[in-house]
Amino acid sequence: MFKKDHKLNQWLWKWHFIAGLISLPIVIILAITGGIYLFKDTYEAPRQAHIKMVEVEGKAMSYQAQWQLVKPSLHKAPNTMVIPTKANQATAFTSGMFSHKNSVFVNPYKGEVTGHINPKDSNMYTVRKLHGELLLGKFGTKIVELVASWLFVLIITGIYVFWPGKKEGIKGFFKIRFNQGKRILFRDLHTVIGFWISILLLMTLAGGMPWTDVFGDSFKWVQKATNTGFPKTWHARGLKSNVAGEAISLDDMVALAKSMNLKGEVSIGLPKDEKGVYSIYNTTFDLDAQKRFHFDQYSGKQLVNHNWEDVGVLMRGRMWFMAFHQGQFGTWNWVVMICVAVLLAFMSIAALISYIKRKPTKKWGTPKVPTRFKAGYGVIALIVLLGIVFPLFGASVLIIVLVEYFRNRKKQIGV
């Protein structure tokens, strides 16, 4: 056990307290909505079954014919087709990406469209928007990013403040006092739970930050500058077919894709125009198994292929943490994220109860810091580093410093 600096401990406790009190309501919202969103697939599956599932009756029509059938049903030409893995599965054709994604499903036996699915039409889309932007658009996204940035600080300061002294020893990491009143009980529940899930919280935050505006854009810029993102041709950018003769049918590409025995969901990227290319790729959260192949749509010649190893290190890290954040690495990951969401909400509420129990009447009860204390260079360097990595956190700290400076200046002038 290391010996803590008492004055530094008081100073960190003060900022942990202030930051926690300000961000607490939003942290609880993020924990609850994040936990709910983990049930997205379970919630949507029965509600979309009438669109995605069909009765097997007779001979299925060709994929080429299905492609032609769906074109009038979409505002934009479909850019992807997902290869069905079961006979009773409707064929999905999709245009657009992310929130602009629109999928139309075809019954290959009756030759008719079974329905459309747009992410925006689901209740889970509202939950996601509440989780990511508090239903406040770009402004809400920045609030969430600011709170998430401060959460890193809360976790780091919380670990230092909680860390047991020599007298408590190892027992201090597990000590919850049930017989010393509700304030102490909820304080201990907050600190002990917070400590033991701190690494998981940091990993969860790392998976959520790439979706933010300021940090996310900065991260993309670094990826581009260091050439550590996707290869240029990962999404077939810059690739063109040599227009010559008749294009290969979609059915031939499906047959080729099936022969590859790719892991996970396999899709065919459809040519956008006469110079566009066919693509075959798989979506699986065994990231190392992801592959992409691009072909000339006339000759069938393979133009380029990529494995996961071709992806830059920052993009690989980003995709791993984002998948972890969504609980997509299997049952274990889903269970871990459910536990993180529940425990984060519980420990936040426990902190609020403990605060209410100790709060003096008509006062905020902000912890006092010794007047002669000055943060060391190491602490300042850490704050500067966090401010650079998380720009909104850096801007908020700068505002706080300026406000404190002018308040002290005013007091000195008044004296």
Residues 6+ apart with CB under 8 A from 381: none
pLDDT at residue 1 is higher than 60: no
- The model's confidence at residue 361, banded by pLDDT at 50, 70 and 90, is confident
Tokens for 98, please give them: 């992310």
pLDDT at residue 299 is higher than 70: yes
Tokens for 219, please give them: 């991260």
- Which whole number is the average pLDDT over 306-311? 96
The pLDDT of residue 81 is 97
Cα distance between residue 116 and residue 52, in whole Å:
10
Q: How many residues does the chain have?
A: 415
In a domain, 171, yes or no: yes
Q: Which stretches of 213-272 are DSSP H helices?
A: 214-226, 250-259
Provide the percentage of residues in the chain whose pLDDT is more than 70.
99
pLDDT at residue 56 is higher than 80: yes
In a domain, 114, yes or no: no
In a domain, 15, yes or no: yes
Cα distance between residue 34 and residue 39, in whole Å:
9
Q: How far is CA 177 from CA 23, 174, 189, 318, 354, in A?
A: 26, 10, 9, 40, 13
From edge to edge, which strands make up the β-sheet containing 80-82? 112-117, 102-107, 91-95, 80-82, 265-269, 277-283, 291-296, 302-307
Running DSSP on this structure, what letter comes out for residue 39? T
- The model's confidence at residue 100, banded by pLDDT at 50, 70 and 90, is confident
What are the tens digits of pLDDT across the range 165-185?
Answer: 777 778 888 989 998 888 999
Amino acid occupying residue 392: L
Chain centroid offset of residue 356 CA? 32
Q: How far is CA 179 from CA 176, 185, 188, 256, in A?
A: 9, 8, 12, 68
In this predicted model, which residue has the larger pLDDT, 380 or 324? 324
Cα distance between residue 247 and residue 276, in whole Å:
11
Residues 6+ apart with CB under 8 A from 211: 132, 322
In a domain, 337, yes or no: yes
**Do residues 130 and 105 make contact, with C-beta atoms less than 8 angstroms apart?**
no
**Do residues 152 and 202 make contact, with C-beta atoms less than 8 angstroms apart?**
yes
Model-level pTM? 0.90
**DSSP secondary structure of 171-191:** GGGT---TTS-HHHHHHHHHH
Cα distance between residue 387 and residue 383, in whole Å:
6
Tokens for 297, please give them: 């749509």
The answer to whether the Cα torsion of 186, 188, 189, 193 is positive or negative is: positive
Amino acid occupying residue 137: G
In a domain, 143, yes or no: yes
Tokens for 10, please give them: 């008081």
The pLDDT of residue 96 is 86
Residues spanned by the domain of 25 = 6-38+126-220+330-414
pLDDT at residue 2 is higher than 70: no
Provide the percentage of residues in the chain whose pLDDT is more than 90.
74
pLDDT at residue 101 is higher than 70: yes
In a domain, 278, yes or no: no
In a domain, 47, yes or no: no
- Which whole number is the average pLDDT over 160-166? 85
In the chain, the number of structural domains is 1
> For the CA atoms of the chain, what is the radius of gyration?
27
What are the tens digits of pLDDT across the range 188-208?
Answer: 999 999 999 999 999 999 999
In a domain, 77, yes or no: no
Q: What's the burial of 398, exposed, middle or buried (CB within 10 Å: 0-12/13-18/19+)?
A: exposed
pLDDT at residue 159 is higher than 70: yes
pLDDT at residue 360 is higher than 90: no
